[in-house]
Amino acid sequence: MTEKLIIVGNSDSVFINNLETELAKLKKTIVFNPYGGKDGRYNARIVKKVYLFLRFIYKALFLFKKDDVVLFCNLNIHVFWMIPILKWRARRVSGVAFGSDILRRNKSYDMLLKFGLHRMDSIHATNDNVLEEIKILKKEGQCASILRFGLPVFLKLDDLLMKRSKMLLETEKNNYKVAIGYCAEEGQRQEEIISRVFERREKLSHCEFLVPLQYGDMNYKNKMVLLIKKLNRSAGYSLFKIIDDFYDDIKMAQFRLDVDFLVNNSVSDAFSGSVQETIYAGNCVFADSALPYVNMPGFGTSIIQYNDIDDLLVLLDENKMLKVKENCKKQLEKTRRDLYQISAWETVIKQWEKII
């Protein structure tokens, strides 16, 4: 019987799809989405919960075999009961925390989460701050380590940087292109930045603001689209441009090259791929000071922190932005080398091979 790797997670996730592509080179790999729904989110209705439970039990009995290896991608509270069932069925069960699933968890459910996590053969995190939380949750002696997702956009960026291709977006060449957040999630806190930028728009005419809403929470996306359309009407021009088309790796690489600054106002973050790709492209990130970036490549040059929205608005001064761009270039080659070592599939694949 040929063993296979079963990735349990949201089949709509770009990270999981990329992971499946890479790990399939090593072993037969399939993705099982236990959540149901088009957007891969857990449906809270009782009837839907019962259906998903019965569906999961059926899959556990007939899809998962004794020789299989199971990898949970996302360790939120909704998976705690699935882990012991699959541990009973499969040869090995491991898990990878994305970041927000652990950092933004409701700690009142920690006992339930521990019940599941303690039955895993190993638990992994994408960053040190997430790993510290995992160590609180894991049992004594249980393996826990850093395991990073590779970023295929790096290779596309290398190609584009060699060609010096530019201008996917039709924007003014003299303007700074500023992306506010990187997905449609409440935790991105884009709304408060957008509202403040709208108030200061006359002093920010050197910026063109982009709001990426390509993936995430559809309800949040719809709310943001309505807000942006309302503010654009009030301004009398397109102050904010919505980015909601899906980009493949090539278009995403071009997007990273074209955007001069990414503002990351997220509640929590595990050094997201969007941040790394922006830096690797030679551009800059303004990040909330609560985010754990101090030990990351590019901190202080490509990554500049702010304490609150007032601080951010100061950084958006045209002269400040020019200075940041100049400082970013000084350490760029070293920053790129360091990022490649921790996040290129070529360098991280061996770590994944050990757990499958």
In whole angstroms, how far apart are CA 193 and each of 12, 124, 150, 176, 189?
28, 33, 30, 17, 7
Across the chain, mean pLDDT equals: 88
Q: Which of 32-46, 84-98, 120-134, 139-153 has the lowest mean pLDDT?
A: 32-46
Lowest model confidence (mean pLDDT) among 55-64, 151-160, 259-268, 302-311: 55-64
pLDDT grade for 136, boundaries at 50, 70 and 90: very high
Dist. CA 261–CA 269, nearest whole Å: 17
CA distance 254 to 131: 32
Calpha distance 80→89 (Å, rounded): 15
Sign of CA dihedral 129, 315, 264, 299: negative
Per-residue pLDDT tens for 32-42?
Answer: 888 665 444 44
CATH class of 5-147: alpha beta
Q: Are strands 122-125 and 69-73 parallel, antiparallel or unpaired?
A: unpaired
Sheet harboring 207-212: ordered strands across?
240-243, 207-212, 176-180, 261-264, 284-288, 303-306
The pTM (predicted TM-score) of the whole model is 0.83
Please state, in angstroms and rounded to a whole number, the distance separating the CA atoms of residues 221 and 191: 11
Above 90 in pLDDT, residue 216?
A: no
Tokens representing 123 are: 């638990």
Cβ burial, residue 294 (10 Å; 0-12/13-18/19+): exposed
Summarize the confidence of residues 184-203 as an average pLDDT. 94
Cα–Cα distance, 134 to 103 (Å, whole number): 10
pLDDT value of position 99: 82
Which residues contact residue 48 at a Cβ distance below 8 angstroms, ignoring those fewer than 6 apart? Answer: 36
User: Is the pLDDT assigned to residue 170 strictly greater than 50?
Assistant: no
Q: In 10 A of CB 2, how many CB atoms?
A: 8
48-52, 100-104, 147-151, 172-176: which has the highest mean pLDDT? 147-151
At which residue do the structure tokens 């904010």 appear? 240
Of 82-91, 196-205, 288-297, the range with the highest mean pLDDT is 196-205
The residues spanned by each domain of the chain are 5-147, 153-342
Output b/e per residue, 41-52; b: 16+ Cβ within 10 A.
Answer: bbeeeeeeeeeb
CATH topology of domain 153-342: Rossmann fold (3.40.50)
Do residues 74 and 101 touch, judged by C-beta distance below 8 A? yes
pLDDT value of position 162: 76
Beta-strand relationship, 29-32 and 69-73: unpaired
